[in-house]
Amino acid sequence: MSSRSSNPLARMHQPLQRWLPASLLGRLTLVMVAGVLVTQLAASAIWASQLRAKSQVEAQSSAQYVAHSAAGAIRFFRSLPPAYRLLIIQQLREMGGTRFFVNLNHAYVPIEQIAPHPLAQSVIATVDATLRSDLPHSPGFRLAFARPDRLVVAEHDVRLDDLPNAWVQHVLLLKPDPAPILVIQTEIEPGNWLYMAALMPNPYFLDSSDPFAWDRLMPQILSLAVVLLLCLLVVRSITRPLAALSDAASALGQGHDDEARPLPETGSREFINTARAFSAMRERIGRYIDDRERLFISISHDLRTPITRLKLRAELLDDEALRDEFEEDLDELDMMVKGALQCVKDSDIHENPTEIKLDTMLGRMVRSAELAGHAVAWQPSGVTVRGKPLALKRALGNLLDNALFYGARAEISVRQEPGWVLICLRDHGPGVPDEAFASLFDPYVRLAHGREQNDGGMGLGLGIARGVIEAHGGRLVLSNHPEGGLNAVVRLPAV
C-alpha cells in the first residue's frame, strides 16, 4: 500500500528533477532568484490593485465634478436666446475661454474615440449618470474621449488643429504630451447641438492608473537587478569554497592528492571547520597509506629471509617425500607474501597523470597476446584519456589476461559517450554465475573453471583492476554477454 502511494509522488518529482540544475550554485541561484521574483511579483500585484482602486476613486470624483460643471454650462446656454449664444461663445474665446471649449453645431459631430479602457469607460458612465441626474429633462448626451490630433470640433470636419491657438491652448492642449479630451454633446433644442470639450482635472489619469508604465517599472527593474546581483554574489561566495572542497575530495579519491592545493580556511565558520577537518583527514589517510606500504615492505623483507632459510634446510632432508611437501608449503607461503605485497603496490602506483593514447597501449597488449598464441580482435579508435599509464596498463592487462585465460579468445572495443570513454573487453568463455558476481572482486576468490584454466593465479587481478580504474574516476562493470562469455566494461572520464 505504501509503495503504491509513493509512486505518484516519485512521478511528480521526476519532471522537477529534470528542470533543476545539477550544481549547488545553480540550485541556490534558482531558489533565490525565484524567491525574489515571486516576492516582487506579489508586492507588485498588491501595489497595482491598490493603485487601480485609488485611481478609480479619484476618477469617479473627478467625473462627478466635471459633470456638475457641464450641467451648469448646459443650463446657462439653454437659458440664453439663440441669437446671443454665438456672441457669448465668441466673447469667452477672446477672454481666454473657460473650463470648457464650447461650440454650436446643427447636428451631432462624430468623434473618433480612443482605444477602449476600463477606467475611461467608468468615467464616461459616471459623467452620463450625473448629467442625467442634474438635467432629467434633457433628450440625452453623447460622450467620448478623443485624442487632440484627431478631434473634430465642428461641422464640415473642422479639427482642433484648425483653430487658433488662443482658443484652445489653455483649455485643451497640453505640451509636450497631449492628454485625452472628454467631449460632451447634447441637443439643447431641435437642430441646435451644444458641443463641449474639456480635460479631466488629472489629464493623465489613464496613465497614472497603469502600474506597468515605464516610469514606474524602471525603479522596480533596477531594484530587482541589484537584489539579484547581490544574491548571485552571495551564492557564489558560499559555493566557491564547496567547489574547492569537492575538487580536493575528488583528487584524494583518485590518488592525485599530491597535486591538490591546501583548502583555504576562509568563508563561513561551518566551512572553516569542515576544511580543517578535511585537511586533518587527508593527512591521516596519507600517513596511513605510507605506514601501510612500509609495513608490507617490511613484512615481505622479514618473511623472505626465514623462508629462504627454510628452503635451504629443506634441501638437507633425506626423505624426498617430506622434502617435497616442505618445498611445496614454502612456495605457497612465498606466493602469498608476494601476492599481498603486489595487491598493496598495484593499487597505489605513484605516477603523474598524463595523456594516454589508447591505441598505443592496447596495441602493445594485443601484440604481446598474439605472440603468446592468443586470438584478440581489436580495432584502433584514436581515443585519448588522461591517467597514470603504468597503473592503467596493469588494470587493462589484468582484464585481458582473465579474458584470455578463461575464454580462449577476446574482443576489445573502444567507444565514446558524452563525458565518458568506454573500453569493452569480452571473452568467449562460460561466463560467470549470477550468484558469483557479488564476490568476484574479493581477493583470493576464484571460480571453479578459473582454477582449472590458471592454477597459478591468486584471484587478485579483478580487485586490483577495479581499484586502479576507480582511482582514475572511472568504473568497472562486469556482466555476462548475451551471446556468451564475460563482458568487462571500463568507463573512464573523457579528456
Q: Give the pLDDT means over successive 10-residue stretches in the chain (495 positions).
A: 48 61 73 79 80 85 91 90 84 72 90 88 92 89 90 87 75 78 91 90 77 68 81 78 76 62 73 82 79 70 74 78 77 69 56 86 89 88 88 88 83 91 90 79 61 53 83 89 88 89
pTM of the entire structure?
A: 0.45
Q: Using CA atoms, how far apart are residues 101 and 171, in angstroms rounded to an integer?
A: 7
Long-range contacts of 339-343 (CB under 8 A, 24+ apart): 339/444, 339/458, 339/460, 340/296, 340/299, 340/300, 341/296, 341/297, 341/299, 341/300, 342/460, 342/464, 343/443, 343/460, 343/463, 343/464
Residue 28, helix vs strand vs coil: helix
> Check: CATH 2.70.98 for 269-345?
no
**ω into residue 306 within 30 of 0, thus cis?**
no
Q: Using CA atoms, how far apart are residues 273 and 282, in angstroms rounded to an integer?
A: 14
pLDDT of residue 14: 60
pLDDT of residue 26: 74
How far apart, in Å, do the first and last CA atoms of the chain sit? 47
Cell numbers 475661454 label which residue? 97
Q: Using CA atoms, how far apart are residues 21 and 26, in angstroms rounded to an integer?
A: 5
Q: Residue 42, CB half-sphere, CA atoms under 13 Å: how many?
A: 6
Cell numbers 594485443 label which residue? 366
What does 138-161 look like in DSSP terms, one character per residue? Answer: S---EEEEE-GGG-EEETTTEEGG
pLDDT of residue 371: 84
Q: How long is the chain?
A: 495
pLDDT of residue 345: 56
Sign of CA dihedral 203, 206, 209, 214: negative
Burial label for 255, CB within 10 Å (0-12, 13-18, 19+), is: buried
Identify the CATH number of the domain defined by range 351-493: 3.30.565.10
Closest Cα partner for 191 from 108, 74, 70, 88?
108
Residues carrying CATH 1.10.287, the chain: 269-345
Residues carrying CATH 3.30.565.10, the chain: 351-493
pLDDT of residue 255: 61
Q: Using CA atoms, how far apart are residues 420 and 408, in angstroms rounded to an integer?
A: 29
Q: Are the C-beta atoms of residues 474 and 395 closer than 8 Å to each other? A: no
Closest Cα partner for 459 from 330, 300, 343, 337?
343
pLDDT of residue 388: 86
